[in-house]
C-alpha cells in the first residue's frame, strides 16, 4: 500500500478521496500508508444518492433489525466468492448464485 500511496504523498497532497467501491475494504491499510493525509470516503454519499434515485426510504438506524435479503451473483467459484463476501461484508449466510 505504501508503494501505491507514495506518489500522492510525494506530490504534496493533503487529502485522499476514496472514489472506488472497493477502497473502503482497504481503508485501514490506506490510512496506515497515508499518514498525515485527510481521507474522504465517498461510499456513504454514493449510497444516499442511490437511495434517492431509486426512491428508497432512508436506511434504518444502526442497530435496527435488518429486513430483506441479499443475493449475490458470481460467474466464478461460488464457494470462494461466498466466503469472501461473508468476510468483507460481515454477512454470514448470504445467498450466492451463478
Q: Are residues 14 and 38 in the same domain?
A: yes
Number of structural domains, the chain? 2
CATH number of the domain where residue 38 is located: 3.40.50.1860
Percent of the chain with pLDDT over 90: 27
Quote the mean pLDDT of the chain. 82
DSSP secondary structure code for residue 35 in this structure: T
Q: Are residues 52 and 73 in the same domain?
A: no
pLDDT tens, position by position, 81-98: 888 888 887 765 555 665
pLDDT band, residue 7 (cuts 50/70/90): very high
pLDDT band, residue 5 (cuts 50/70/90): very high
Residues spanned by the domain of 76? 69-98
Decide: 18 and 24 in contact? Cβ < 8 Å: yes
Q: Can you read off the three cell numbers belonging to residue 24? A: 473502503
10 Å Cβ neighbour count for 1? 13
The SS3 assignment for 75 reads coil
Kindly tell me if the per-residue pLDDT of 16 is higher than 90.
yes
Q: Whole-model pTM?
A: 0.60
Amino acid at each position: 500500500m505504501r508503494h501505491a500511496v507514495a506518489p500522492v504523498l510525494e506530490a504534496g497532497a493533503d487529502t485522499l478521496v476514496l472514489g472506488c467501491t472497493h477502497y473502503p475494504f482497504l481503508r485501514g491499510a490506506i490510512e496506515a500508508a497515508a499518514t498525515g493525509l485527510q481521507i474522504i470516503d465517498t461510499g456513504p454519499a454514493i449510497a444516499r444518492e442511490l437511495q434517492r434515485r431509486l426512491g428508497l426510504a432512508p436506511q434504518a438506524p444502526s442497530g435496527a433489525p435488518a429486513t430483506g435479503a441479499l443475493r449475490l451473483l458470481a460467474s466464478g467459484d461460488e464457494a470462494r466468492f461466498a466466503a469472501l463476501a461473508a468476510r468483507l461484508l460481515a454477512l454470514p449466510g448470504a445467498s450466492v448464485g451463478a
